[in-house]
Structure 1
């Protein structure tokens, strides 16, 4: 039995030492972003039955062994940051990053846009995702996207974006005017800002002059439309027409329908009835206009939103998604192989990385992604220190049991002498 005490004590020392190593590693990474802690599970070795006067089924253990080392999968606390490229996954999932050879999985979302406009980790690993395909070879946005559809797992690539990107201008094709001309004979003008196909902002002006020869009921006006450059030095087109109102001042008809804006035809919409240009006996006020068309813009920068979309923002105020960060999932997260504090790789136990899908079979990220946020270690200091104290006390107890067994052995040997 004294020999068994040696084996039991040594077993306790060995396995409690392993537990201390695990808890110490957890505590050492308490400030590591995206860290996933580990717990050790212990089990008893074979037990031997002994006969005593107290019980017919008392047993004596042979010590303990490490049964398993399991990943703590609870959500780590979320901490606010000052960068939209700092991301935290709320729920299940992993970011994928690449060293150029293999995919590594992490909960550490401390990303940034580097000097080459690549989305990278702090140590230069490239973040994986789906590119939008809406950027031409000469770095012009081909179409505006609110969302990029996530591709298949094997199609994910390094998220690289152009350092310069242009939002192309969209020429004005329609201009609607709203104004009251009154009933007097003073000329009234209404203007509109229109964009041509080269991205220039020009001035479309309508001037209404009441016809000296009126034909009741109602009133008639001559209207002249001009398109000039903003500085007024270039006249692109001039068109004239006639406008008629009924006796109540509602617009009845207009012969002026369009004008050329440096190569683009702009439809002139004066409305119908009282929705647009009117001639009502009330004080004349400044008119207004509504036009389509968009000025071109240059890239201001990239950011990431809560849907894991990489958003390009332009100087004209427009935005477009140009990529989507992938969120990977595994059948058994416990089976992932740890590479370091917050990085893992897949294994036979974890299964292959997959994407969640919606009811239509479309790949989705399958989790909430928070920008301006980072996930802290999921190990609390108080929990780690408590576990460390317990394991240290157990280690000391096993050490003392070996010392006691040794003393008992020495006494037994001395008795034989």
Structure 2
């Protein structure tokens, strides 16, 4: 009988020795990268049945079985796959898995799995584990940075000297706000003057077969302002499209923008009228051909404009330089102000006949609304004056109430301008400077745009108009040549650039487009797909395992992706040494995953996962194993004493 307890105690010694070994292994690997602690579990051996159980008989109850245990054995050594803490290393190729999954390594024949992400690039550009030379597995992106199927694992190998070719710009998008400035208003400080105008025109429809250049000069007492405009060749089906072309061409000249505008002649319908927005004694508009050109004759325009003068009461409203787009019947001029005593007055003067309505008819309406039997007139300097014993201390502001025909005023603040400059690229990746000039027109919610590349006009699509709705969003972005016209420019010795140029919202690319709000101008180029040639400069690894290269031209491109492997039963993995695991028949096949996409885990670059060993827990387990070993050893010594006493019974 004593022999049974001897072997029972021995089984306990053996089991607790194994548990001690497991604890010792955990403690020894407390600083091993990616190490996962293990735990030893026990189970009972088959019990010896000394007496079987019996059932009840009559009034006698049944009896329970009588069994004596014969010891303990090791049930399992399980791996604890809890997350280890992350330690920042500063090395971009050090990787850690946050969550489930393993990095995949290959020796060219067999796949291995690890939580140790101490990787580096070798001389061939392969991402490897330097301690064993195995290559990290994943997907290599194609030339466009796209990935194929995740199941097609391959060695992650990069060309660390990679260069990317230049790419011609094919798309430019504008976005942001352009401030229209204050509402055009005429007031008591405004000097009313006539515009210097030149009228004429080729008749419409009209086709311009080649670009025309005009040299426009504005003479003032301070000197001469001149600039050359280039009117693009196009089929102008109406006078409106031709006027848009001229105004867009003017917008591209810094010296003329805001000082000269084109409109339809309010007296001779169908004729073009080019006029100044400034005036007064000594102001005159003149135009001349450039070189041996014949633009004036071809366009049916004269060379000398009328002389500007200070306006009088008899001046037609449409002759004023302050009228940037001719007034039409039904339009209104709203006015409001305050009297010297602080009381306010307001009213509207409605245009009934623009060919006869004069400044005085407007002022008579103002005076009648002001009351107190005052009269209104322009003084010798062209400023509004109210008289009846010399009324002073009054204010007045006159604004436009357009009936929808496209009329407008030019206020004392002038017309708003906004300039944008960006870099575009040709087919060889050479850079070119594109300048975009946005110029407000006198018509509410309408702007002209003019584009030049390297100070040269494009072949097409470089001029046009932008229309906003009343809420400040773009309603139309139209080149002079018509909808769908690409901005085309041919650099010296290069293939032509055809650029989709727009300022409308493109939600699919996250572009809001241009807006027109009373807020600071922020409009700029937010999207262009061209680039210069570049060389790989550095790389970054994202939480999805994608290795993204950054090139010297500022471009970024996906180079490769580190994939993870997951198992239905990771506890079935076999430890192989060197921080490696191997799959077994009990793990199930590996599932190749993409971090953050097909699995909730993510990859942290520049960090390593520390061991998940809990030292306090291990010391506790070590004490328990020690006590268990001691207790079982005492069973053996006690049994030995019993055997010794049994032998001595004969003496």
Q: Is the 8 A contact 1:173 1:265 kept in 2?
A: no
Distance 1:5 1:341, change over 3 A: farther
Q: Is the 8 A contact 2:34 2:610 kept in 1?
A: yes
Q: Is the 8 A contact 2:127 2:157 kept in 1?
A: yes
The equivalent residue for 1:367 is 601
Q: Is the 8 A contact 1:326 1:365 kept in 2?
A: no
Q: Does 1:169 align with 2:166?
A: yes
The equivalent residue for 2:150 is 151
Q: Is the 8 A contact 2:460 2:489 kept in 1?
A: no
CA distance in 1, matches of 2:576, 2:489: 67
The equivalent residue for 1:74 is 82
CA distance in 2, matches of 1:349, 1:245: 70
- The worse-fitting range, judged by mean Cα deviation, of 23-32 and 78-87 is 78-87
Q: Does 1:407 align with 2:641?
A: yes
Q: Is the 8 A contact 1:96 1:327 kept in 2?
A: yes
The equivalent residue for 1:121 is 129
CA distance in 2, matches of 1:131, 1:252: 43
CA distance in 1, matches of 2:165, 2:459: 28
Q: Is the 8 A contact 1:356 1:366 kept in 2?
A: no
Distance 1:77 1:271, change over 3 A: closer
Q: Is the 8 A contact 1:130 1:325 kept in 2?
A: yes
CA distance in 2, matches of 1:90, 1:334: 18
1:211-255: per-residue Cα shift (whole Å, max 9, x none)?
xxxxxxxxxx9x995648xxxxxxx99979997999xxxx99857
Q: Does 1:330 align with 2:567?
A: yes
Task: Give SS of 2:496's match.
Answer: strand
Distance 1:198 1:5, change over 3 A: same
The equivalent residue for 2:36 is 36
Q: Is the 8 A contact 1:225 1:239 kept in 2?
A: no
Q: Mark the runs of 5 or more structure 1 residues left unpaired by the alignment.
A: 135-141, 209-220, 229-235, 277-284
CA distance in 2, matches of 1:61, 1:403: 19
Of 194, 202, 205 in structure 1, the residue corresponding to residue 432 of structure 2 is: 202
The equivalent residue for 1:308 is 545
Of 82, 93, 101 in structure 1, the residue corresponding to residue 101 of structure 2 is: 93
Distance 1:29 1:243, change over 3 A: closer
The equivalent residue for 1:13 is 13
CA distance in 1, matches of 2:541, 2:6: 60
Task: Give SS of 1:261's match.
Answer: coil
Task: Give SS of 2:550's match.
Answer: strand
C-alpha deviation, 1:125, in angstroms: 1.6
C-alpha deviation, 1:106, in angstroms: 1.1
CA distance in 2, matches of 1:326, 1:270: 40
Distance 1:323 1:150, change over 3 A: farther
CA distance in 2, matches of 1:112, 1:367: 22
Rg (Cα) greater in structure: 2
Task: Give SS of 1:22's match.
Answer: helix
CA distance in 2, matches of 1:126, 1:97: 5
C-alpha deviation, 1:27, in angstroms: 1.2
The equivalent residue for 2:402 is none
Task: Give SS of 2:118's match.
Answer: coil
Show the 5 A alignment for 1:383-398: 383-398=617-632
Distance 1:165 1:26, change over 3 A: same
Distance 1:290 1:64, change over 3 A: closer
C-alpha deviation, 1:415, in angstroms: 2.4
The equivalent residue for 1:61 is 69
CA distance in 1, matches of 2:40, 2:461: 88
CA distance in 2, matches of 1:242, 1:114: 51
Distance 1:172 1:37, change over 3 A: same
The equivalent residue for 2:375 is none
C-alpha deviation, 1:314, in angstroms: 0.9
C-alpha deviation, 1:57, in angstroms: 5.3
The equivalent residue for 2:412 is none
- The worse-fitting range, judged by mean Cα deviation, of 261-270 and 290-299 is 261-270
C-alpha deviation, 1:162, in angstroms: 0.8
Task: Give SS of 1:127's match.
Answer: strand
In the comparison of the two structures, how many residue pairs are matched?
364
Distance 1:24 1:290, change over 3 A: closer
C-alpha deviation, 1:161, in angstroms: 0.9
The equivalent residue for 1:282 is none
